[in-house]
Structure 1
């Protein structure tokens, strides 16, 4: 005999109540499923008030860049611990690598915050990145896993792809770390809110496009369909190509990836759909944050990550 609807409902109710009672109350009445995650509410408040100022500004952009540069420092063949915080732990070594130029300030800021709240540098880097994305209109909510151990050694030089690298070199590097071409293109959505500072240091930081710091499809569309004919600053910088607009800065690697047969299909799809781009970015970010880590040793603190701000279109 099939159970009646009335006999099932009490079981659902009991399960729901039990799940609700199992949550832990943290500061300011906020709750989490895992009590070990409570500290991240304190980190969140500190970051938003004293570092990001709840804006998608320079520090938020740098935090997002730092998360990639730390995580991609992983190779089963060459060494590196991936998303382990080595860029902070061994900053005196890794900040000397050319690819990490400009990360000094955000490294110092995140080191101070991590030491203040007693969290690992690897966790600090990835958590700050998830918060930074949520501050940028159009950015998705990204999951956050905590519990990374401290790095034990510096990542070797040469693991971070450069803007002047060929597509084959870039794809080989990310594949060695465990990322697919689709993951890479999805992660480049971050360039829609990025600023250049070191490819052409003769000009002040300018957005990659003319919109505010917004995660949108315009970056993908413009890079694929609008060929450049002007330099926004000095000409022929290594890693730069001409832009279609006087104030837009375009990386050579972006231009090449947009038209390479191994990546152009992803690029085209993201130029057409914000939801596809945002969801793919969130998935790729979560995957990247686990490079070099054993996920079985981590615990989910995604319920601390605030919902992202609205988007502008």
Structure 2
């Protein structure tokens, strides 16, 4: 997530009415999922869709219960935040899906797009629960991570969301996809040799990385007050240097972060397992999924309906039996 961050409060965002998450809504989610698979594959836009999902969710403040995966990133004032530069294309692509499936909220759509982006590039399956409400307003700018900063900053930002060290490292593994673009962040390069494949290459490159600095241009005005820097993480098959953010370097400099990096470098299955769990947490920040209680109420209602139907059938059967009995009795008396 290429962005700058500082803890900033805002008034609770008004929300639209919650979606009616019934059988038809689930069907629409599955239809949208199929559409997204084809769209993301054909447009080769998985990194962009994943970034959209992360940036919509990553504004959450657990203390004030504001921000989060509520679709507010589509609002012009939030989309124009320096952290979200370049995401207009992802929002426009999602709008195509929205037009075909209008009952799905933007909040669900953006998070579903992130889940599918991981799936179609070979990553883990992430359990998706629909029902998020759309927000009519956005939090103030400055809640997302600043790529120029270190461990203290990363913990401040992610702890504010309610996430922990393991989540920070696992979610950073999403940098296995795509790369940085100078016109977007002031950085330029890719993290891994195969930036369209979701695997644990990011952690392998981190462990090989050196501290040799590369010179990059100043970022666009408003992105950061610091001049960005990066370090070499080896070279790809063409001899081009791979790239890491200062926040990536932090993961191998901080002992607690490093433990997870080493684990994920050695065990891709462990990375996939933890990534799927952390991605799900991020995508549900501030969201209360349909509860067991609501499912029980639905089941009771269904049972009640079935009971009424069964009672009706029993009554009709009894009436038929009585009618048959009196007809037979009348026939006997006439004989």
TM-score for both structures, normalised by structure 1:
0.75
Unaligned runs of 5+ in 2: 1-21, 220-226, 296-335
**Deviations 1:134-183 (CA, angstroms, capped at 9, x unpaired):** 1113x111111101111132122111111012210111111111111101
1:156-167 matches, within 5 Å, as 156-167=140-151
Match of 1:278 in 2: 272
> In proportion to residue count, which structure has more helix?
2
Aligned runs of 1:127-206 on 2, under 5 Å?
Answer: 127-137=112-122, 139-198=123-182, 206=189
Bigger Cα Rg: 2
Q: 3-state DSSP class of the match of 1:65?
A: helix
Q: What is the number of equivalent residue pairs in this alignment? A: 260
2:34 counterpart SS class = helix
Output the CA distance in 1 between the equivalents of 2:140 and 2:63: 11
Residue segments in structure 1 that go unaligned for 5+ positions in a row: 1-32, 301-313
Cα contact 2:213–2:229 (8 A) shared by 1: no
Distance, in Å, in 2 between the alignment partners of 1:117 and 1:220 is 37
Shift of 1:195: 1.3
Q: For residues 217 and 110 of structure 1, do their structure 2 counterparts lie closer, same or farther at Cα, with a shift above 3 Å needed?
A: same
- Find out whether 1:292 has 2:276 as its counterpart: no
Q: Equivalents in 1 of 2:209, 2:173: separation in Å?
A: 17
Aligned residue in 2 for 1:53: 41
- Aligned residue for 1:9? none
* Change over 3 Å in CA distance of 1:268–1:239 after alignment to 2: farther
User: Alignment partner of 1:146: what SS?
Assistant: coil
Q: Distance in 1 between matches of 2:62 and 2:216?
A: 39
Where 2:40 maps in the other structure, the secondary structure is coil
Residues 1:38 and 2:27 aligned together: yes
The 5-angstrom pairing of residues 217-236 of structure 1 reads 217-229=200-212, 231=214, 234=216
User: Contact 1:207 / 1:248 at 8 angstroms: preserved in 2?
Assistant: yes
- Whole-angstrom distance in 2 between the partners of 1:95 and 1:297: 32
Runs of 4+ in 1 over 4 A off after TM superposition: 199-203, 297-300
User: In 2, Cα distance between the equivalents of 1:208 and 1:278?
Assistant: 18
Q: TM-score, normalised by structure 2?
A: 0.70
Aligned partner of 1:73 in structure 2 is 59
Note the C-alpha offset of 1:214.
1.9
What value does the CA root-mean-square deviation take over the aligned residues? Answer: 2.7
